[in-house]
Amino acid sequence: MIINAELVKKLREQTGAGMMDCKNALIHTGGDLEKASDYLRKKGIQAASSKLGRKALNGIITSYIHLNNRIGVLLEINCETDFVAKTPEFNELAKNITLQIAAANPKYVNREDVPQEVIDKEKEIYRSQFANSDKPEKIINGIIEGKLNSFFKEICLMEQEYIRNPEITINQLVLETISKLKENIQIKRFVRYQLGE
């Protein structure tokens, strides 16, 4: 079943969950809005998402050095209180995210951080692949949208599959930790260094 953006938007408005979580819930439940909402609630994502608007001004800056000192990561990850910043769960999440950055080499935290000129360039490349195609414009636009979503999953940390459990995304990993710690957690920024680059 094809899950359209309108359905995802509707579920997001109802639950406050993230776009990708809503899309996955709709795919899992065959497009049924009520079942998808229940699915999100069971996963704790809806409750965790309600905390996303709260200010996260505490946290830590952490680092990771990998592969014979050839790759290094600096990460700022925020939470609401100094108390949570010191918990093993929060620090474990930070460590796992630095490992993800080292291994998967994302370029941005979220798709909203991707500059419009980068998106436009990708769209232009995808569209040029259909230059001599007799496919209808609506189909071409759908394919381009699908390719763009795949592009975001590759370059945006929050949309990447978690390297230790490809069943979930980094966003879901963060939401699970929010659900446990009962505080908003935000990945503020990161830098990945690779020797020779």
Question: Does this model's pTM top 0.85?
Answer: no
**In angstroms, rounded to a whole number, what is the distance separating the alpha carbons of residues 181 and 94?**
14
Q: Count the domains in the chain.
A: 3
- Full domain range(s) for residue 177: 58-110+156-194
Q: Are residues 31 and 124 in the same domain?
A: no
Q: Are residues 99 and 186 in the same domain?
A: yes
Contacts of 149 (CB under 8 A, 6+ apart): none
Q: Are residues 63 and 92 in the same domain?
A: yes
Q: Are residues 150 and 165 in the same domain?
A: no
Along the 197 residues of the chain, how does pLDDT read in single tens digits? 678 888 888 887 776 666 777 888 888 888 888 888 888 777 766 555 655 556 777 899 999 998 789 999 999 999 989 999 999 999 999 999 999 999 999 999 999 999 999 999 999 999 888 878 888 888 888 888 999 999 999 999 999 999 999 989 999 999 889 888 888 899 999 999 999 87
Cα–Cα nearest to 90, from 181, 189, 191: 181
Q: Are residues 38 and 99 in the same domain?
A: no
Residue 166 CB neighbours (<10 A): 9
Cα–Cα nearest to 188, from 119, 37, 85, 117: 85
Q: Which two tokens stand for residue 188?
A: 């503020």
